[in-house]
Chain A
Amino acid sequence: MKISACTEKVCVSFARECDLLAAIQVAKQEGLPLLDALTPYPVHGVETAFGWKSSRLTWVCFICGMIGAVGMLWFQHWSAAVSWPLDVGGKPWNSLPSDIPVAFEAAVLLAAFGSVAALFVACRLRPGKDPGDLPSRVTNDRFVLIFSGDSPGGGQANIEVAMQSFHPVEVQTLP
């Protein structure tokens, strides 16, 4: 289920990352409708606990970098040898070694901007976006698991019982 389609979210807050990791594993085993986790910093092991594959953003970076490098090599060749061949100190018009530094810079620039733009698109981040109702202190010191409240087995009482042994600090239901 997509998190955006969920009308009621049960948020269970923990004070420690080890509790969060253990709770994810149990929630997965018991088939609870786990949607996502919110953490103040990247907790290592969450992605394996959720079973996520490595991100495909590396491909975006590679493709953008290649476009930058090849595009700039072509442009330098075209401008210096085709569009207006200019004799610079008797050097050959099409001198590949001197084209490499600028092609490299263009590759880095496009790869960096491309991957950051792809990150923003993939995570739906945009300037001024309203983060919505967040569980308290989630950008400070709380590790939160979000369950779908609509799905079968997703009621607050049910989830509270399942999470009891992981020292939850707070259980809230948010729209």
Chain B
Amino acid sequence: MTELAHDQPPLVTGNKSLDDVTRDICAPMERKPTGLWWAAFIASFSALILGVVAVWYQLVTGIGTWGLNKTVGWGFDITNFVFWVGIGHAGTLISAVLFLFRQKWRTAVNRSAEAMTLFAVMCAGVFPLIHMGRTWLAYWTLPYPNARGSLWVNFKSPLLWDVFAISTYLLVSAVFWYVGLIPDLATIRDRSTSKWQKRCARFLALGWNGSARAWHRYETVYMLLAGLATPLVFSVHTIVSMDFATSVIPGWHTTIFPPYFVAGAIFSGLAMVLTLAIIARKTMRLEDYITKTHIERMCKLMLSMGCIVGLAYATEFFMAFYSGNGYEQFVFLNRALGPFSRAYWIMVSCNVLVPQLLWIRAVRRNLVAVFAIAIAINVGMWFERFVIIVTSLHRDFLPTSWADYVPSLVEIATFIGSFGLFFTCFLIFCRIVPSIAIAEVKAAAGLGNPKLPTSEERAA
């Protein structure tokens, strides 16, 4: 099962042995961090500190420090929440959905994509928490017996479904990631020369010895987790979209939202995976493992998702026209031509027009071009959420209630802080665990049957 079809390019280039794979992937953890790593870390950590200060300030002062008003009640907070949850989705797509589809090339990026999922969901979780205003009462969203009756939570509210969806997603992603890490932690335990690294790896590797019986069960559970994570990832963004779709706001109240949000989430997540993978392969010298073929395949996935998102934009517009509903039609014309039209056209050009370049093979194999396109999509997908949320709200049913929205500095600082949290976590991740799943790459790349040395070579 481990051999590849003959017309497929190799998953790992550079004629590696199994030992080379272990050594190459562990190398970034075993050498001292480079100056580039420190520079990136200091920048990310500074952004994180800025975010912590901003969150502290708004907790103490109140969320009146935001640019929200009576009409625009959701702004940067929920935009950023949806943005970050979406980023997380590609990790699960790569680790679970592509696993079920037997896409062996996923092994080059699944570990880092899953880590990205975890960190992105952490960033996402910050925003609803601070959005509550009285964050210290966040535990009220959980149904626990209490002295108020017991007064239970409202299970009919999509906002509560979100609490369960996001926390389940975070927990299941963390378990999936850890289960995948166990064999690699055993590898680190057995090869590490650093006392602390060895001790930590020994604690976390759970006594893994690579027994075939254990692998047999492990593979069953890995398949089960992939099978569970696949519907989970679709349910999470479906539920996020229901936060909007079950309301009566024109522009939100549409049945297209669940598939539209899921496709958008995977699209933006793939863009983030590509952004990180292109940097990681270069700085961590992993070009033989994350090859141009891997990048090209992710580009194809991203292009297909981009086309689905483009179709969703067109469908939304058409349905607004076709519905004959004046409010719906106004919202969509207002999106394209109103005061936030710039955000709308950034969204369309970054998410629909720019990705069309990926039809060209030379572009897909040009890392600089792919990096630029991925960044454009990240920007475009952030604006998509901004457009959905703010343009649907700012023109209320009554023209007397119409309002504008400008984010305050506190909101911008919190947003920058979330990037700080994400990249700080990611940079630490690159240093402390193998950023590529060693055991999975070995199994997928079919390196287990090398040519045996001849008797002359053995004698030499």
Say yes or no: B215 contacts A46, CB within 8 Å: yes
- Chain A residues contacting B249 (CB-CB under 8 Å) are none
Q: In the complex where A106-B164, A112-B228, A141-B19 touch, is A88 in contact with B154 (Cβ < 8 A)?
A: yes
Chain A nearest CB, measured from B168 CB (Å): 4
- Chain A residues contacting B202 (CB-CB under 8 Å) are 128, 130
Decide if B343 is an interface residue (CB 8 Å cutoff): no
- Of A86, A119, A128, chain B has the most CB atoms within 10 Å of the CB of A119
- Chain B residues contacting A17 (CB-CB under 8 Å) are 2, 448-449
Segment of B205-213, B385-393, B405-413 engaged in the interface with chain A: B205-213
Say yes or no: A43 contacts B208, CB within 8 Å: no
Decide if B18 is an interface residue (CB 8 Å cutoff): yes
- Chain A residues contacting B448 (CB-CB under 8 Å) are 16-18, 41, 43, 143
Decide if B62 is an interface residue (CB 8 Å cutoff): no
Say yes or no: A40 contacts B175, CB within 8 Å: no
Say yes or no: B203 contacts A128, CB within 8 Å: yes
Decide if B22 is an interface residue (CB 8 Å cutoff): yes
- Chain A residues contacting B221 (CB-CB under 8 Å) are 57, 61, 115-116, 118-119
Segment of B132-140, B185-193, B271-279, B415-423 engaged in the interface with chain A: B185-193
Say yes or no: A79 contacts B152, CB within 8 Å: yes
Interface of B is mostly: helix
Decide if B232 is an interface residue (CB 8 Å cutoff): yes
For the complex, give the distance between the alpha carbons of A125 and B151 in Å. Answer: 41
Say yes or no: A101 contacts B217, CB within 8 Å: no
- Which parts of B1-45 form the interface with A (CB within 8 Å)? 1-2, 17-19, 22
Say yes or no: B143 contacts A16, CB within 8 Å: no
Q: In the complex where A57-B221, A101-B235 touch, is A36 in contact with B22 (Cβ < 8 A)?
A: no
Say yes or no: A40 contacts B18, CB within 8 Å: yes
Decide if B160 is an interface residue (CB 8 Å cutoff): yes
- Chain A residues contacting B439 (CB-CB under 8 Å) are 40-42
Decide if B440 is an interface residue (CB 8 Å cutoff): yes
Say yes or no: B179 contacts A116, CB within 8 Å: yes
User: Per-position contact with B for A41-55: 1 when CB-CB < 8 Å, else 0?
Assistant: 111111100101011
Decide if A152 is an interface residue (CB 8 Å cutoff): no
B: contact size bracket? 35 or more
Chain A nearest CB, measured from B285 CB (Å): 20
Say yes or no: B155 contacts A76, CB within 8 Å: yes
Decide if B165 is an interface residue (CB 8 Å cutoff): yes
Which residue in chain B gives the minimum CB-CB distance to A38? B210
Say yes or no: B168 contacts A108, CB within 8 Å: yes
Q: In the complex where A47-B212, A83-B150, A131-B186 touch, is A42 in contact with B443 (Cβ < 8 A)?
A: yes
- Which parts of A116-149 form the interface with B (CB within 8 Å)? 116, 118-120, 122-132, 134, 137-141, 143
Decide if A170 is an interface residue (CB 8 Å cutoff): no
Say yes or no: B220 contacts A44, CB within 8 Å: no
Decide if B395 is an interface residue (CB 8 Å cutoff): no
Say yes or no: A127 contacts B206, CB within 8 Å: yes
Decide if A39 is an interface residue (CB 8 Å cutoff): yes
For the complex, give the distance between the alpha carbons of A141 and B165 in Å. Answer: 40
Decide if B204 is an interface residue (CB 8 Å cutoff): yes
Residues of A within 8 A of B (CB): 15-18, 36-47, 50, 52, 54-55, 57-58, 61, 65, 75-76, 79-80, 83-84, 86, 88-89, 91, 95, 98-99, 101-102, 104-106, 108-109, 111-113, 115-116, 118-120, 122-132, 134, 137-141, 143, 167
Residues of B within 8 A of A (CB): 1-2, 17-19, 22, 143, 149-158, 160-161, 164-165, 168, 171-172, 175-176, 179, 182-183, 186-187, 189-191, 202-221, 224-225, 228-229, 231-232, 235, 239, 242, 439-440, 442-443, 448-450, 452
Q: A47-B216, A131-B208 are in contact. List 18 more A-B contacts (CB 8 A).
A: A16-B449, A42-B439, A61-B228, A89-B156, A98-B156, A101-B242, A102-B160, A105-B161, A108-B168, A108-B232, A122-B217, A125-B208, A125-B214, A127-B203, A130-B202, A134-B190, A139-B208, A140-B187
